[in-house]
Amino acid sequence: MAILEVRSVFKTYVTRGVETPALRGVDLTLDEGDFAALAGPSGSGKTTLLNLCGALDAPTSGEILLDGQKLGDLSEAQLARLRLHKLGFVFQAYNLIPVLTARENVEFVMQLQDVGSHERRARAEELLDAVELSGLGDKRPLEMSGGQQQRVAVARAIASHPRLVLADEPTANLDSETAGRLLDLMERLNRERGVTFLFSTHDPLVIGRARRVVRLRDGRITSDEVKPGA
């Protein structure tokens, strides 16, 4: 079942009257349960496409459907609700709130969803345990390593039970061993909890672990490969 549909999407940025095409007619369908990577060099359009899929930006033309809803038909308030309830985000720079503890960072999205305090805390503790951070819930981001912060970001991303998690260069700031453990975690969440993942990456480690690899160059999809046995 398709969870995400990108239909003939173009994106052009205009700076001081100069047009810069970022995406040139992209078509992509992501199925529920996919563990997929958008791969390509810097400037290929990976992050632009990820931001469009996450309703953080709008295409110049074409349409995007998430869970059957056309994003272009939704108001800003409706898009905000969709991001809150159906999407999880893992950013390259972690984007944790520095004054909050790891547990409070994980609880934050649930608080926006009006989940009760007892349920929030219990779910946050469960998720921190799932990402192998049990006992570190009271630490603030700056007291944690980069790998630990990224795992908090993953726990936060799935706390709202999203339909889709979008991860922008999730291993960019990590050494290969830490990156491998993070990918182990994401694979387990995909397999055991049915979380759908879409990464943007140029990391060979992520590309090697993804079950589907969509390659972009100059704003166009050049190949879309599902690995044997995926």
Q: How many domains does the chain have?
A: 1
- Helices 146-158 & 117-130 angle (0-180, nearest 10): 130
134-179, pLDDT tens digit by residue? Answer: 899 999 999 999 889 988 998 898 888 888 999 998 888 778 888 8
Within a domain: 27: no
Write down the pTM of the prediction.
Answer: 0.89
Expressed as residue numbers, the domain containing 139 is 34-60+74-226
pLDDT given at position 230: 63
Q: How confident is the model at residue 38 (pLDDT cuts 50, 70, 90)?
A: very high
What percentage of the chain reaches a pLDDT higher than 70? 100
> Could you tell me if 22 and 199 are in contact, meaning their C-beta atoms sit under 8 angstroms apart?
no
CATH of the domain at 83: 3.40.50.300
Within a domain: 25: no
Whether the predicted pLDDT of 93 surpasses 80: no
